[in-house]
A = this chain, B = another copy of it.
Amino acid sequence: MARLVAERADLLPVLGEVFREHGFEGASLSIIGARTGLGKGSLYHFFPGGKEEMAKAVLAEIDGWFQAHIFQPLHNEKDAARAIARTLDAVGDYFKSGRRVCLVGALALNESRDLFARQIRGYFAAWGEALAGALIRAGHDRKSAKVLAEETLAAIQGGLVMARAMNDPALFQRALVRIRTRLVAK
């Protein structure tokens, strides 16, 4: 039978968008099937654990992307200030300048959080530590770096929420600009 998808990994971006748009509860198998073009048989072939396994796979893929494009650069690049600036650009692109929501943050808000608590916490913890590390290398002391990192992540999440609420993606971009100026200024 002609296969409809090259590999399981190709499904993850689509699944991610579906979960972003409808939430975990709201993303029904019929919606998922329609968006992926796969029937239940195929979906359960790739994800025997059902919706929960799909969401966990998506979260793992997101974590991998951030590891590669955000966390690692923050850790490794010589020029910490430059790394911070560049990863902020990458964040802006990733969230499509405010038109895309953070799935990890969205899942954190309601009771489905409990299903994914470890991954949610791990994602933000890794991000916070990577950013704080870069801030230290850029000249901040340990304490202020930690505070600044925490403040930055909250500002990003809040910017995404507000951009959606006001239906104004530019709001998120303005938030990113403010974050940038605050992080580069010592």
Listed in ascending order, the chain A residues whose CB lies under 8 Å from chain B are: 20-23, 25-26, 101, 104-106, 108-113, 117, 120-121, 123-125, 147, 150-151, 153-159, 161-162, 164-167, 171, 174-175, 178
Contacts and interface: CB of A to CB of B under 8 A. Distances in A.
* A interface: dominant SS: helix
B154 A162 contact: yes
A68 B167 CA distance: 26
A159 B166 CA distance: 18
Copies of this chain present: 2
B104 A109 contact: no
Contacts of A178: 147, 151
A59 to B, nearest CB: 12
A109 B111 contact: no
A178 B26 CA distance: 35
A104 B26 CA distance: 17
Contact of A162 (B112, B147, B153): B153
A151 B178 CA distance: 9
